[in-house]
Amino acid sequence: MEIGDVPGWAALVVSIVSVAISYRLGVRSAHASEKSADASRVSAREARRSSDAAERSASAAEGSLVLQRQEAEERQRAAEPRVELRVEHAGGTSRLRLRNVGGAVARGVKIHDTPGVSTQDREFNFRTGVSNVELVPGAARVFLIYRIGATRMPTHLWVTWEGQEERIAIAVPAR
């Protein structure tokens, strides 16, 4: 071996050592990259879960808000005075009284046709449909009811008033 060959051999050894070190560092870097990628996937999964949970929470909050609004509207409606009518006996079997026990005025009160039954009161007359009756809170209107033939006393009367266009059944108390 000549002296001129020593630097060449030294360079070869240094090259081999540097290749080995580079390989090792490359492997470590690859492992670190894989760990980083795994951590990124886990982080993305957690972010999706968090996003889903936030959406569910927002949806639940929205539903709760809707319920709160409905409850507030119901409380407001309950606080408003309403018409509430009751049928009472006013003496005898055919003499009845329609009373407003609510807190609002009932205008245009009308008793609707009931098979086999008629009234004597012109303003409550089933056939004419006249509706001039107004009942302030606490007021009552007496009327006679006639049963035609062997018809029994009705168990309820169908009534409407201004603001209540759909017929409401009001029970006639038993005698």
Query: 110-165 pLDDT, tens per residue?
Result: 888 776 666 666 566 555 555 678 999 999 988 877 777 766 778 888 889 999 99
User: Which pTM value belongs to this model?
Assistant: 0.54
Residue 100 has what pLDDT?
Answer: 96
Residue 83 has what pLDDT?
Answer: 94
Q: For residue 118, how many other CB atoms are within 10 A of its CB?
A: 16
Buried b (16+ CB within 10 A) or exposed e, 38-66: eeeeeeeeeeeeeeeeeeeeeeeeeeeee
Q: How far is CA 110 from CA 16, 41, 54, 122, in A?
A: 110, 73, 55, 11
Q: State the CATH architecture for 85-171.
A: Sandwich (2.60)
Q: Is 96 left (phi over 0), alpha (psi -120 to 50) or beta?
A: beta
